[in-house]
């Protein structure tokens, strides 16, 4: 069996206590919520915290308020709770939908919203056992110096594999972080970095408390996920689209791709192309092409990179077509 | 107790639960990893980080000093080689001087905890001298040096085979159409849910006991005897119930030998449970296979000649590979009549985990090629592919060109069932773009005609004990790997002795207690151990009946054994309980125990290589697969499969259906996604040795299956039963490929049929590019084939022997190809 290494396990009852424990434990400590990301990584020795601080017992992180003008989801909600929340499924169906597409029911029961938003980047040169990684002299994300995806590259190309994060970026949601200096708000797009190692702007001691969502006032959004098996795979492509309509015209749009870069990648050109349009077939084709062109998936997930790139065109087209149909039918 | 059906059977043929179902469902069953003993210690293996290297030096001193470490082993502690086939004794429990793939076992540690053992293996210092890696068949052909092994037909070619039955050139001359096609079949692994585990215990009186998740305790017994240099009579191997095998637990493995040796060294029970990654390194799965097929047919599709070439990527060791290679050429002849047949097969050594027997052993690859080519031929001849197949079936009770004796043959009914069930005639070539149906057929052996190592003893033995309580115990070496072989023994004995199968005690897979059964491989167990059980039970009935006949004063011929009674068939109230019947017999003749055994009939072929292919009975399957193909992404989905299987006779139709549906499931994985992929440019490391990234369908990807069981009892099977564990897998992959062509008009001549390949073929078709909508191999490796062994087929007056070459030819052949038993 693949065994967990020995570690100290702390259970704070409040955010303040968690912050104090983190400060005391020093750099070789890590927060854990559901553990569906961290524990497998620890078994494979990707992450080797000496102290693990469990956030599961902190009630503040489980808050949810959807009735107000500033809807809020606590980071400690499980993905099952997010996916099945009846009101969220109406007001923010793209979020509930994306949460419901993460992994399997069992892992969604354990895994949290915050965990998915902070998901470690993935790479099939990295998500391997210690012995396997040793056989390729390790990689720069852990224990090595080379990025095997692009050996001459100075950076790590591990892939952002969160399903919910691209939706949050598309919705321009605001993340609430609490650290030693108190609370701060970060727009979702500003939370992520295009680097496989430093993929979050969050400071290590900061805790993601929750997410402020836009009030449901007429905008629409959706998320499409491409993966080998509907049963449980990570995305090899995620397409999140946010649209604001003004009658038959698109007033604002944000297209964000997951699974193709080290961060949820906003497709600015493609988004701009559809603003002001009525989303006719030729506009959709042009936007799909504009999303396809700059996308540069690397050879470090399931499926070949050329096909994954090709699929950005197909999936952006499908998402836009579906949103247009919804609007015209409404 | 159920009433008899029209055929007089009360238990056999009835749908019922397995005898071990309750403990399995409640979690009571002890698998190897569930075992725990006082003072038990744990073993971990250090594995090679290099694909091909010489070991210069191993220093274990740091590991030995580690607190909690009780024993450390390296290759020199176990220097005797072993291997499943007598001709391929090329493995060492721990690498002696060379490592041959990333994951090859190098050293092992026993420690008081699994954590300490896992840390201690990294304290072993190994110095390697790296050697050039051999990455593929082509690479092996181009680079005879450095040799991966110092045996084999030449360089890095492990085995070369060439057999010709009749002159194929004449057959091609007589053909109306001759087609040549190239195919590739990717490697895949078994992926049983249970990871291999083994526990060894060595007693103060120098007896060794090994519990293991193995499909072949008898062969593990033999390997331990050889490597440990201990009398087999002091070694006991117990196969625990397997959580799935599929061929992946049929070889003796390093960890089984290592824990045995460590138990002898430390005096403690020693356990090893492999990680999923290590199971990928044990492998022994499907050989990646290149194929070239030339087939000549008449206008109505009769095969006048077939020339089949295969090139197998064997990985780092022999395993079953020589047999696998023969199997890629053996069963082409048992479905459709083939007038003249030539087979050339090659297996290369490469620096990857060894390939071996996975469900269908060596036959899914050629079956894929053959059935896709049949589809192409039918289209060219403007024939319906189902009708064309029906017209040229091998007749029952006949001998094929390569001397396989076909007995019962229910393929026609199988084809008719799936054609009718799927509404084939209304749908084939008539569905809208993006939807399609495809058909394919297959056949498989019900056990191999010859044992793995040469001997003339039975292949399966049963001992039966009837005690005065009315209890019946069946002892048999067969191993239940989830397929239900323990249940089959109980059902058959229950049928003959008229007792409740759930009252029968089944003791299996224990070399101290049970007579030898060769193992759960080659779909042999129902037929062979079933026949042995049938014989033992009939003998018991013969012992018991005369005493009951005397007591009841009726002739033995009128006695019926049923409902746990023995009674007068003409006067059912006149009778006795089964327990009283046994007591009467015991009083008269002493303790009631009988034996039964089974030896397959002699093969008809008597040429070198004729040992692979013969079987007491062949099962047949036909399948229609429906696909939906997305033309813009190439993604293929399978909503439904219709499959018919000629089982001969069901012992239990529920478990037969389970095997059929499980085969469909596994077949869809091989057809659509499974791939043993390696980073050829990164030292041939396995790309993704995990259940997450090695893509195999889950139950949520499984389609609807309509199963038809065709019963046509075979005289060689117990109650007429034939195999079902492997055959129904075979038609799935080609039927998917043929359905994709029906849906979108492109041929993917290889598996897995991934969306990338379908989309590439669709683009080629749209651009009018080469091949006009095909994705597949463009060449077959250049292989130095030897002159063929020529065997005239039966209809050319052949007697199953090879034509003797002139003395000079024979001398030349002897030099080129040293005689080798396989």
| B374 pLDDT above the threshold of 90 | yes
| Residue B795 belongs to some domain of the structure | no
Q: How far is it, in rounded angstroms, from Cα B712 to Cα B722? A: 9
Q: Answer yes or no: do B682 and A136 touch at CB < 8 A.
A: yes
What secondary structure, in 3-state letters, does chain A show?
A: CCCCCCCEEECCCCHHHHHHHHHHHCCCEEEECCCCCHHHHHHCCCCCCCEEEECCCCHHHHCEECCCCCCEEECCCEHHHHHHCHHHHHHCHHHHHHHHCCCCHHHHHHCEHHHHHCCCCECCCCCCCHHHHHHCCCECCEECCCCCCCCCCCCCCCECCCCHHHHHHHCCCEEEEEECCEEEEEEHHHHECCCCCCCECCCCCCEEEEEECCCCCCCEEEEEEECCCCCCCCCCEEEEEEEEEECCEEEEEEEEEECCCCCCEECHHHHHHHCCCCCCHHHHHHHHHHHHCCCCCCCCCCCCHHHHHHHHHHHHHHHHHHHHHHHHHC
Banded pLDDT at A255 (limits 50, 70, 90): very high
Q: How far is it, in rounded angstroms, from Cα B555 to Cα B574? A: 13
Interface of A with B in 300-329 (CB under 8 A): 302-304, 306-307, 310-311, 314
| B551 pLDDT above the threshold of 60 | yes
Banded pLDDT at B804 (limits 50, 70, 90): confident
Contact A68, A214 (CB under 8 A): no
Distances (CA, A) of B572 to A138, B540, B566, B568, B577: 77, 21, 9, 5, 12
Closest-CA residue to B221 (of B640, B516, B650, B583): B516
Q: Answer yes or no: do A135 and B276 touch at CB < 8 A.
A: no
Q: Answer yes or no: do A124 and B688 touch at CB < 8 A.
A: yes
A134 in contact with chain B, both atoms CB, cutoff 8 A: yes
> In terms of domains, do B181 and B293 share one?
yes
Q: Note the pLDDT tens digit of each residue in B35-79.
A: 999 999 999 999 999 999 999 999 999 999 999 999 999 999 999
The predicted model gives B691-701 an average pLDDT of 94
Residue B431's SS3 state is: coil
Q: How far is it, in rounded angstroms, from Cα B732 to Cα B623? A: 7
User: To which residue do tokens 């050319």 refer?
Assistant: B796
Q: Which residue is closest to B49 within chain A, CA to CA?
A: A135
Distances (CA, A) of A325 to A58, A97, A218, A248, A271: 42, 18, 15, 12, 18
Q: Answer yes or no: do A132 and B277 touch at CB < 8 A.
A: yes
The predicted model gives B336-352 an average pLDDT of 98
- Report the pLDDT value the prediction gives residue A277, as an integer from 0 to 100: 97
Beta strands at B618-629 and B592-598: parallel, antiparallel or unpaired:
unpaired
Closest-CA residue to B242 (of B211, B209, B218, B271): B211
ipTM: 0.96
- Residues in chain A within 8 Å Cβ distance of B273: 1
Map out the domains of chain A as residue ranges. Answer: 1-57, 60-118+159-212, 220-329
- The DSSP letter of residue B151 is -
> In terms of domains, do B444 and B465 share one?
no
- Report the pLDDT value the prediction gives residue B795, as an integer from 0 to 100: 97
Q: Note the pLDDT tens digit of each residue in B454-488.
A: 999 999 999 999 999 999 999 999 999 999 999 99
The predicted model gives A233-244 an average pLDDT of 98
Rounded to a whole number of angstroms, the distance between the first and last alpha carbons of chain A is 54
Contact B256, B212 (CB under 8 A): yes
Q: Note the pLDDT tens digit of each residue in B182-235.
A: 999 999 999 999 999 999 999 999 999 999 999 999 999 999 999 999 999 999
Higher pLDDT, B339 or B7: B339
Query: Which among A135, A229, A236 is the top mutation candidate for probing chain B, defined by the most B β-carbons within 10 Å of its own β-carbon?
Result: A135
Structure tokens of B213? 């998740």
| B816 pLDDT above the threshold of 60 | no
Type and span of the H or E element at B628: strand B618-629
Q: How far is it, in rounded angstroms, from Cα B542 to Cα B778? A: 64
Helix B525-552 / helix B578-589 crossing angle, nearest 10 deg:
80
User: To which residue do tokens 């095909």 refer?
Assistant: B774
Q: How far is it, in rounded angstroms, from Cα B220 to Cα B251? A: 7
The answer to whether domain A220-329 has CATH 3.30.390.50 is: yes
Distances (CA, A) of B359 to B248, B418, B420, B717: 9, 23, 28, 21
Q: Answer yes or no: do A229 and B118 touch at CB < 8 A.
A: no
> In terms of domains, do B277 and B297 share one?
no
- Report the pLDDT value the prediction gives residue A198, as an integer from 0 to 100: 97
Mean pLDDT computed over every residue of chain A: 96
The H helix count followed by the E strand count for chain B is 20, 34
Q: Answer yes or no: do B682 and A131 touch at CB < 8 A.
A: no
What secondary structure, in 3-state letters, does B727-749 show?
A: HHHCCHHHHHHHHHHHHHCCEEC
**What residues are paired with B621 via a beta bridge?**
B442, B645
- Report the pLDDT value the prediction gives residue A298, as an integer from 0 to 100: 92
- Report the pLDDT value the prediction gives residue B6, as an integer from 0 to 100: 61
Banded pLDDT at B683 (limits 50, 70, 90): confident
Residue B434's SS3 state is: coil
| Residue B138 belongs to some domain of the structure | no
Q: Note the pLDDT tens digit of each residue in B706-734.
A: 999 999 999 999 999 999 999 999 999 99
- Report the pLDDT value the prediction gives residue B377, as an integer from 0 to 100: 98
Q: How far is it, in rounded angstroms, from Cα B534 to Cα B355? A: 35
| B1 pLDDT above the threshold of 70 | no
Cis amide prior to B191 (ω within 30 degrees): no
The predicted model gives A35-61 an average pLDDT of 96
Contacts of B214 (CB under 8 A, 6+ apart): B198, B220, B237, B239, B242, B249, B250, B252, B253, B256, B479
Q: How far is it, in rounded angstroms, from Cα B223 to Cα A233? A: 41
| Residue B783 belongs to some domain of the structure | no
> In terms of domains, do B431 and B524 share one?
no
Q: Which residue is closest to B633 within chain A, CA to CA?
A: A311
Q: Answer yes or no: do A148 and B687 touch at CB < 8 A.
A: no
Banded pLDDT at A292 (limits 50, 70, 90): very high
Query: Which among B51, B195, B671, B690 is the top mutation candidate for probing chain A, defined by the most A β-carbons within 10 Å of its own β-carbon?
Result: B690
Top-tier CATH class for A1-57: alpha beta
Banded pLDDT at B819 (limits 50, 70, 90): very low
| B391 pLDDT above the threshold of 90 | yes
Helix B217-228 / helix B254-266 crossing angle, nearest 10 deg:
50
Within 13 Å of residue B436, how many CA atoms lie on the same side as its CB? Answer: 22
Structure tokens of A246? 């003004």
pLDDT above 90 coverage of chain A, percent: 97
- Residues in chain B within 8 Å Cβ distance of A124: 687-688, 693
Q: How far is it, in rounded angstroms, from Cα B290 to Cα B184? A: 5
- Residues in chain A within 8 Å Cβ distance of B754: 303
- Residues in chain B within 8 Å Cβ distance of A229: 673, 695, 697-698, 700-701
Q: How far is it, in rounded angstroms, from Cα B280 to Cα B587? A: 56
- The DSSP letter of residue B95 is -
List strand residue ranges (DSSP E) for B139-176, in order. 157-165
Q: How far is it, in rounded angstroms, from Cα B450 to Cα B457? A: 10
Structure tokens of B798? 């052949």
The domain A60-118+159-212 is placed in CATH, from the list 3.30.420.610, 3.40.109.10, 3.40.50.10860, 3.30.465.10, at 3.30.465.10
| B672 pLDDT above the threshold of 50 | yes
Query: Which among B107, B682, B748, B758 is the top mutation candidate for probing chain A, defined by the most A β-carbons within 10 Å of its own β-carbon?
Result: B682
- Report the pLDDT value the prediction gives residue B679, as an integer from 0 to 100: 86
Listing DSSP states for B236-281 in one string gives EEEEPPPS--TTTT-S--HHHHHHHHHHHHHSS-EEEE--HHHHHH
| Residue B798 belongs to some domain of the structure | no
- Residues in chain A within 8 Å Cβ distance of B673: 228-229
Q: How far is it, in rounded angstroms, from Cα A63 to Cα A87? A: 15
> In terms of domains, do B560 and B630 share one?
no
- Report the pLDDT value the prediction gives residue B4, as an integer from 0 to 100: 53
Banded pLDDT at B808 (limits 50, 70, 90): very low
Structural domain of B231: 32-131+195-242+249-282
| B364 pLDDT above the threshold of 80 | yes
- Report the pLDDT value the prediction gives residue B813, as an integer from 0 to 100: 46
Q: Which residue is closest to A310 within chain B, CA to CA?
A: B633
Q: How far is it, in rounded angstroms, from Cα A45 to Cα B79? A: 34
> In terms of domains, do B480 and B555 share one?
yes
Beta strands at B157-165 and B789-791: parallel, antiparallel or unpaired:
parallel
| Residue B814 belongs to some domain of the structure | no
Q: Note the pLDDT tens digit of each residue in B77-95.
A: 999 999 999 999 999 999 9
Mean pLDDT computed over every residue of chain B: 95
Phi and psi torsions of B289, nearest 5°? -135, 125
- Give the CATH number of the domain where residue B324 resides: 3.30.365.10
| B821 pLDDT above the threshold of 50 | no
A247 in contact with chain B, both atoms CB, cutoff 8 A: no
| Residue B143 belongs to some domain of the structure | no
How big is chain A, counted in residues?
A: 330
Domain count, chain B: 3
| Residue B336 belongs to some domain of the structure | yes
Cα dihedral: B445, B449, B453, B455 (round 10): 160
The predicted model gives B585-604 an average pLDDT of 97
Banded pLDDT at B5 (limits 50, 70, 90): low
Q: How far is A161 from chain B (nearest CA, A)?
A: 14
Q: Answer yes or no: do B683 and A314 touch at CB < 8 A.
A: no
| Angle (nearest 5°) at CA B332 between B327 and B333 | 120
Q: Answer yes or no: do A135 and B683 touch at CB < 8 A.
A: yes
The predicted model gives B362-383 an average pLDDT of 98
Banded pLDDT at A1 (limits 50, 70, 90): confident
> In terms of domains, do B292 and B331 share one?
yes
Q: Note the pLDDT tens digit of each residue in B286-308.
A: 999 999 999 999 999 999 999 99
| Residue B15 belongs to some domain of the structure | no
Closest-CA residue to A81 (of A66, B111, A68, A70): A66
The predicted model gives A207-229 an average pLDDT of 97
pLDDT above 70 coverage of chain B, percent: 96
Banded pLDDT at A56 (limits 50, 70, 90): very high
Q: Answer yes or no: do A228 and B673 touch at CB < 8 A.
A: yes
User: To which residue do tokens 């052909």 refer?
Assistant: B141
Residue B625 CB burial class (10 angstroms; 0-12, 13-18, ≥19): buried
Distances (CA, A) of A107 to A37, A124, B141: 10, 20, 47
- Report the pLDDT value the prediction gives residue B7, as an integer from 0 to 100: 73
- Residues in chain B within 8 Å Cβ distance of A138: none
Contact A172, A266 (CB under 8 A): no
């Amino acid at each position: 069996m693949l065994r967990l290494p020995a570690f100290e396990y702390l259970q704070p009852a409040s955010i303040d206590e968690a912050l104090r424990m983190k400060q005391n434990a020093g750099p070789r400590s890590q927060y854990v919520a559901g553990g569906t990301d961290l524990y497998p990584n620890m078994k494979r020795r990707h992450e080797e915290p000496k102290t693990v601080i469990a956030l599961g017992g902190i009630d503040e992180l489980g808050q949810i308020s959807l009735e107000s003008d500033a809807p809020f989801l606590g980071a400690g909600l499980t993905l099952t709770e997010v996916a099945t929340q009846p009101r969220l499924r109406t007001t923010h169906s793209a979020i509930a939908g994306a949460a419901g597409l993460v992994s399997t029911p069992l892992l969604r029961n354990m895994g949290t919203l915050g965990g998915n938003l902070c998901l470690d980047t993935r790479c099939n040169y990295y998500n391997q056992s210690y012995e396997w990684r040793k056989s390729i002299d390790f990689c720069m994300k852990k224990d090595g110096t080379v990025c095997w995806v692009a050996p001459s590259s100075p950076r790590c190309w591990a892939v952002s594999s969160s399903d919910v994060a691209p939706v949050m970026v598309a919705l321009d949601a605001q993340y609430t972080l609490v650290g030693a200096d108190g609370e701060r708000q970060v727009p979702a797009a500003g939370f992520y970095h295009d680097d496989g190692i430093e993929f979050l702007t969050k400071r290590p001691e900061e805790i993601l408390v929750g997410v402020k969502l836009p009030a449901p006032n007429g905008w629409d959004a959706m998320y499409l996920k491409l993966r080998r098996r509907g049963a449980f795979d990570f995305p090899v492509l995620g397409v999140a689209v946010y649209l604001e309509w003004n009658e038959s015209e698109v007033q604002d749009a944000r297209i964000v791709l997951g699974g193709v870069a080290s961060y949820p990648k906003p497709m600015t050109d493609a988004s701009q192309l559809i603003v002001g349009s009525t989303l006719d077939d030729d506009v959709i084709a042009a936007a799909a092409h504009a999303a396809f062109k700059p996308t540069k998936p690397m050879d470090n997930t399931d499926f070949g990179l050329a096909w994954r790139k090709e699929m950005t065109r197909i999936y952006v087209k499908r998402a836009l077509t579906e949103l247009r149909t919804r609007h015209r039918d409404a | 107790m159920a009433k008899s059906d029209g055929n007089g059977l009360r238990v056999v043929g009835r749908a019922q639960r397995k005898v071990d179902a309750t403990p399995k469902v409640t979690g009571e069953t002890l698998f190897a990893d569930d075992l725990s003993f006082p003072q038990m210690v744990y073993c971990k293996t250090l594995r090679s980080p290099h694909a091909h290297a010489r070991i210069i030096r191993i220093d274990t001193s740091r590991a030995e000093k580690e607190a909690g470490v009780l024993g450390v082993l390296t290759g020199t502690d176990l220097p005797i080689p072993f291997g499943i086939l007598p001709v391929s004794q090329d493995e060492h429990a721990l690498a002696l001087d060379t490592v041959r793939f990333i994951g090859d076992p190098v050293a092992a540690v026993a420690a008081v905890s699994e954590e300490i053992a896992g840390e201690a293996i990294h304290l072993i210092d190994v110095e390697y001298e790296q050697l050039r890696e051999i990455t593929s068949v082509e690479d092996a052909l181009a680079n005879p040096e450095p040799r991966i092994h110092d045996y084999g037909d030449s360089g890095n070619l492990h085995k070369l085979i060439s057999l010709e039955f009749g002159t194929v050139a004449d057959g091609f001359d007589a053909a109306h159409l001759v087609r040549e096609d190239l195919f590739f079949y990717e490697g895949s692994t078994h992926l049983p849910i249970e990871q291999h585990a083994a526990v060894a215990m060595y007693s103060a009186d120098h007896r060794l006991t090994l519990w293991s998740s193995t499909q072949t305790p008898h062969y593990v017994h033999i390997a331990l005897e050889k490597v440990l240099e201990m009398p087999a009579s002091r070694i006991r191997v117990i196969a625990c119930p397997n959580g799935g095998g599929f061929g992946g637990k049929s070889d003796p493995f390093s960890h089984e030998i290592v824990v045995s040796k460590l138990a002898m060294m430390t005096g403690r029970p020693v356990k090893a449970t492999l990680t999923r990654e290590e199971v990928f390194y044990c492998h022994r799965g499907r050989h990646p296979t290149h194929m070239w097929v030339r087939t000549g047919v008449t206008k109505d599709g009769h095969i006048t000649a077939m020339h089949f070439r295969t090139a197998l990527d064997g990985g780092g060791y022999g395993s079953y590979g020589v047999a696998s290679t023969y199997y890629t050429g053996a069963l082409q002849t048992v479905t459709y009549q083939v007038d003249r047949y030539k087979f050339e097969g090659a297996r290369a050594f490469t620096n990857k985990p060894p390939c071996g027997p996975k469900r269908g052993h060596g036959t899914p690859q050629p079956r894929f090629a053959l059935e896709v080519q049949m589809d192409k031929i039918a289209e060219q001849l403007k024939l319906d592919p189902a009708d064309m197949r029906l017209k040229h079936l091998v007749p029952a009770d006949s001998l094929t060109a390569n001397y396989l004796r076909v007995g019962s043959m229910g393929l026609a009914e199988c084809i008719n069932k799936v054609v009718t069930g799927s509404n084939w005639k209304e749908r084939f070539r008539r569905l809208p773009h993006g939807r399609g149906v495809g058909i394919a057929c297959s056949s498989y052996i019900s056990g191999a005609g010859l044992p793995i190592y040469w001997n003339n003893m039975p292949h399966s033995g049963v001992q039966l004990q009837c005690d005065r309580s009315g209890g019946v115990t069946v002892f048999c070496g067969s191993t239940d790997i989830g397929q239900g072989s323990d249940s089959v023994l109980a059902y058959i004995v229950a049928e003959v002795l008229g007792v409740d199968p759930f009252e029968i005690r089944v003791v299996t897979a224990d070399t101290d207690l049970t007579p030898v059964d060769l193992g759960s491989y080659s779909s042999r167990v129902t037929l062979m151990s079933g026949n042995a059980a049938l014989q033992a039970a009939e003998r018991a009935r013969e012992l018991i009946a005369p005493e009951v006949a005397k007591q009841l004063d009726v002739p033995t011929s009128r006695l019926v054994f049923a409902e746990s009674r023995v009674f007068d068939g003409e006067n059912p109230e006149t009778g006795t309980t089964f327990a009283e019947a046994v007591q009467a017999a015991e009083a008269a003749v002493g303790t009631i125990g009988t034996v039964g055994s089974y030896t397959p009939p002699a093969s008809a072929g008597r040429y070198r290589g004729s040992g692979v292919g013969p079987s007491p009975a062949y099962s047949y399957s036909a399948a229609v697969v429906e696909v939906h193909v997305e033309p813009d992404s190439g993604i293929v989905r399978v909503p439904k499969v219709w499959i018919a299987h000629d089982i001969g006779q069901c012992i239990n139709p529920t478990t037969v259906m389970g095997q059929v549906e499980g085969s469909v499931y596994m077949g869809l994985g091989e057809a659509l996604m499974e791939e043993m992929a390696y980073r050829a440019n990164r030292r041939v490391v396995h790309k993704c040795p995990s259940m997450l990234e090695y893509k195999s369908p889950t139950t949520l990807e499984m389609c609807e299956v309509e199963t038809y069981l065709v019963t046509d009892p075979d005289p060689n099977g117990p109650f007429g039963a034939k195999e079902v564990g492997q055959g129904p897998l075979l038609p799935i992959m080609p039927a998917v490929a043929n359905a994709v062509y029906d849906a979108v008009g492109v041929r993917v001549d290889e598996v897995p049929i991934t969306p990338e390949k379908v989309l590439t073929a669709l683009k080629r078709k749209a651009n009018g590019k080469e091949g006009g909508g095909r994705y597949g191999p463009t060449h077959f490796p250049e292989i130095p084939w030897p002159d063929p062994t020529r065997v005239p087929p039966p209809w050319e007056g052949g007697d199953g022997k090879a034509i003797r070459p002139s003395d000079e030819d024979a001398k030349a052949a002897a030099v080129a190809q040293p005689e080798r038993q396989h």
